[in-house]
Amino acid sequence: MKCVLVTGGSRGIGRAICLKMATLGYYVLVNYKGNEVAALETLSLLKTAGGDGELIPFDVQNKEQVKSVLGAWQEQHPDKTIEILVNNAGIKDDTLMMWMKDEQWENVRSTSLDGFFYVTREVLSGMLMRKSGRIINIVSLSGQKGMAGQTNYSAAKAGVIGATKALAQEIGKRGITVNAVAPGFIQTDMTEGLNEKDLKTMIPAQRFGQPEEVAHAVAFLAAPESAYITGIVLPVNGGLYT
């Protein structure tokens, strides 16, 4: 059975990706850290849409949990192979650097960058053995151009962009692609506190994006026909930054 693992899949962009991949026939592993109610809702929605999957709770920045939960799941399900990994888990905790606390830096960096490393390393051996796979990292406009008040978030996402390009070169010869999708302003709970009316005037498309539009980009990179695309960062930002 072909499977896709989506970290941070319980809501927002992660949920949209789970639902999109379910419609394409993938068995969806919905990862989440603590919001079980939202994760169960995501699972219910994808099953209502005719898909199938299960919840796989672990904290991506905790290497012991990644090993004990994800590693054990792979050992216990030899009939299910993770063909696609979507590293979506991420948090933001914005403030100016001069006021930023150690834990704000560490938590934001660790969730995105360390989480990418621990989860990808855990599934990579199977992809290398099969000589096929798709790794898709959800980064951000912040990681491309930097955003004031987001030194931690910008650094974390820029780190994942660099890792995406390096890993693509390491494993391209094994039939595995590694790409990133960089959303701009997307209507999710992470952008609820922003002034959309003012900000959208800066965007050529004159609006915020929808999670489903990011999910479409992920599905494109996950497709078998995208096998010759690797090491890229695909912007989904309405033309705000090119």
Looking at this protein, which amino acid is placed at residue 77?
H
Of 26, 153, 228, 241, which one is the catalytic site residue? 153
Q: Write the single-letter amino acid at 75.
A: E
Residue type present at position 43:
L
Please state, in angstroms and as integers, the Cα–Cα distance from residue 208 to each residue in 15, 145, 173, 192, 219, following that order: 18, 18, 38, 11, 20
Token look-up 């994808």 returns: 46
Cα 63 to Cα 41, 60, 69, 235, distances in angstroms:
27, 7, 10, 29
Verify whether residue 153 is a known catalytic residue. yes
Active site residues: 153
